[in-house]
Amino acid sequence: MISIKAIQIKENVYWVGGIDWNIRNFHGYLTQRGSTYNAYLIIDEKITLIDTVKHYLFDEMLERISDVIDPADIDYVISNHVEQDHSGSLPEIMEIATKATLVTSPNGEKGLKAHFREDWNYRIVKSGDVLNIGKRNLTFVQTPMVHWPDNMVTYLEEDKILFSNDAFGQHIASTERFDDELPLGVILEEARKYYANIVLPYGGQVQKALGTLGGLDVEVIATSHGLIWRSNIPAILNEYQKWSTNATEKKAVIVYDTMWNATEIIAESISDVFEKKGYNVRFMDLKNNHISDIMTEVITAKYICVGSPTLNNNLMPSVASFLTYLKGLAPKDRIGLAFGSYGWSGQSIGQVEQYLKDCGFETLENIRIQYIPEEDQLEEMKEKLEGNIL
Ligand SMILES: Cc1cc2nc3c(=O)[nH]c(=O)nc-3n(C[C@H](O)[C@H](O)[C@H](O)COP(=O)(O)O)c2cc1C
C-alpha cells in the first residue's frame, strides 16, 4: 500500500499532487516514465491550493490535503492552467471547499467556464496582481501560449517559490519530489521531451516569459509535472534558453519508413555522409520509434532527413503522420532532406519535400532511387550530398 501523505517543500508549503504511475499515452505523447500532476497547498491565515490533478486522482489529492488540514477550510483555489490534467479535480474540490474563491486569469475564467459550466466564485487576476494570504503574498504573471492562452504562473515572494505550472515540467512518476533526488540527466532529458512535444511552437512566448521571470528571486520552481527544481535551477533555465531560441547542434536526425528496405538502404548511406562530416546522427525507423521520441531528438538537430517509399502514389501513412506532427510543433532554422525509393511514379519524395518546405525548412536536393539502390548509385548520391551539407 503506497502511503498517501503531503510532502513539505518549505515550511507550511506542501506538495499534495497525484502520481500517475502507469500512464503511457498522454494525448498521443509516449510517457514512458509515467507522470505526476502537482498540486500545492499553502498554509497561512488564508489556506490556498494551487492547481489540482486529473479527475481520476482526486481521491489521492484529497487524502494528501487532509493529511495537513480539513479540505473544507481552503479559502483560495488558484488555477494556473485550464487543461484537464490540472483542472480535472476542480469540480470535486470546489464542492468540498464551499467558501473557496477560484483565482484565475481572464482567459482562465473563459476556459474553465467552457469546460465545467460552473458558476464558481471567481476572482480574476492579471500580471502583477498580488493576493495577500496572511504573512505571504502571491504575485501572478500571465504567460499566454506557454502553452495555452490561459496560462499563468504564481510567485510566492516570501518563500521564493515559483509555481510554474507546465513550464519546466517533465513527465516522470516517482516518489522522489526534488531534482537532486534523481539523476539530473534523466530529468533534463524528460524536460527536453516535454518541451519538444508541448512547448516547442511557442519559443517567442517562452522568451518573453523567461525575461519576466528573470527578474524574480527564485529558490524553488514548483512545476505541475515531475520533479520540483531546487538544486539545478540554472541548468533548466539554460536549457529553456537554448530550446526557445532554436539553438541546434551538429546533429542530423534520419527518420524513415520502408516496406522492402530500399529506403532504409538510402537512409544508411545518408547516415554515413553525416557521420563522415562529423555530425552526430540519430537513425530512427518509424516502425520502432514513437514520434514523441523522435521530436526529443529533432529539437537539437540542424538536419532533419525524412524518407518514404511510394505507396499507391503517396508517401507512407506513418511518414505523413510524423510530418504532420513535426509541422505543428514547428521547429525553426532547420535544413530538411527528402529521400526514398519508388517503383514507377515516385510521388512520395516530392510529397515529403513539400511537407518539409511547409515546415519552413530550407531543403537540400532530394534523393530518389528506383527500386533497390545499386552500389554506384549510392556512391554518386553520397558524393553529391557530402558537397551539399555544411
Ligand atoms: C503496395 C505497394 C504499392 C506501391 N505503389 C507504388 C506507386 O504508386 N508508385 C511507385 O512509384 N511505386 C510504388 N510501389 C513500389 C515501391 O515504391 C518500390 O517497391 C520501392 O522500392 C519500395 O521501397 P522500400 O523498399 O523502401 O519499401 C508500390 C509498392 C507496393 C508494395
Index of the ligand 1 atom closest to the CA of residue 313: 8
pLDDT digits over 255-294, tens only?
999 999 999 999 999 999 999 999 999 999 999 999 999 9
pLDDT digits over 45-96, tens only?
999 999 999 999 999 999 999 999 999 999 999 999 999 999 999 999 999 9
pLDDT digits over 118-137, tens only?
999 999 999 999 999 999 99
Asked whether the predicted pLDDT for residue 28 surpasses 70, the reply is yes
Classify domain 250-388 at the CATH topology level.
Answer: Rossmann fold (3.40.50)
pLDDT digits over 193-218, tens only?
999 999 999 998 899 889 888 889 99
Question: Ligand 1 center to residue 307 CA distance, Å?
Answer: 13
Nearest protein CA to atom 12 of ligand 1, as residue: 343
Distance (Å, whole) CA 296 – CA 239: 13
373 lines ligand 1 (CB under 6 A): no
Question: Ligand 1 center to residue 72 CA distance, Å?
Answer: 65
342 lines ligand 1 (CB under 6 A): yes
pLDDT at 3: 78
Question: Ligand 1 center to residue 260 CA distance, Å?
Answer: 9
Distance (Å, whole) CA 339 – CA 384: 14
331 lines ligand 1 (CB under 6 A): no
Nearest protein CA to atom 15 of ligand 1, as residue: 343
Nearest protein CA to atom 28 of ligand 1, as residue: 311
Index of the ligand 1 atom closest to the CA of residue 310: 17
Distance (Å, whole) CA 268 – CA 223: 41
Distance (Å, whole) CA 71 – CA 12: 15
pLDDT at 25: 95
CB-based contact 263:338 (threshold 8 Å): no
Asked whether the predicted pLDDT for residue 1 surpasses 70, the reply is no
Q: Which of 342, 349, 369 to mutate to test the pocket of ligand 1 (most atoms within 8 A of CB)?
A: 342
Domain ranges of the chain: 7-244, 250-388
In the chain, how long is the greatest CA-to-CA distance? Answer: 78
164 lines ligand 1 (CB under 6 A): no
Index of the ligand 1 atom closest to the CA of residue 372: 21
343 lines ligand 1 (CB under 6 A): yes
Q: Which of 312, 345, 377, 378 to mutate to test the pocket of ligand 1 (most atoms within 8 A of CB)?
A: 312
Q: Write phi, then psi, for 50 (nearest 5 degrees).
A: -105, 115
Catalytic residues: 27, 81, 83, 85, 147, 166, 194, 225
SS3 142: strand
Question: Ligand 1 center to residue 301 CA distance, Å?
Answer: 29
266: closest CA among 374, 384, 388?
374
Q: Which residues contact 339 (CB under 8 A, 6 or more apart)?
A: 256, 263, 266, 267, 270, 305, 306, 307, 349, 352, 366, 367, 368
Asked whether the predicted pLDDT for residue 5 surpasses 60, the reply is yes
Question: Ligand 1 center to residue 343 CA distance, Å?
Answer: 5
Q: Compute how many other C-beta atoms are within 10 angstroms of the C-beta atom of residue 175.
A: 11
Distance (Å, whole) CA 388 – CA 390: 7
For residues 307-320, give the mean pLDDT.
Answer: 98
Crossing angle for the helix pair 233-244 and 184-194, nearest 10 degrees? 30
Classify domain 7-244 at the CATH topology level.
Answer: Metallo-beta-lactamase; Chain A (3.60.15)
For residues 169-173, give the mean pLDDT.
Answer: 98
Same fold, 7-244 and 250-388: no
259 lines ligand 1 (CB under 6 A): yes
In this predicted complex, what is the ipTM?
0.99
Residue linked to cell 515550511: 11
Strand ordering across the sheet containing 161-165? 130-132, 137-142, 152-156, 161-165, 220-223
pLDDT at 208: 87
370 lines ligand 1 (CB under 6 A): no
Q: What residue type is 317 in one-letter code?
A: P
CB-based contact 163:50 (threshold 8 Å): yes
Q: Which residues contact 71 (CB under 8 A, 6 or more apart)?
A: 62, 65, 93, 96, 97
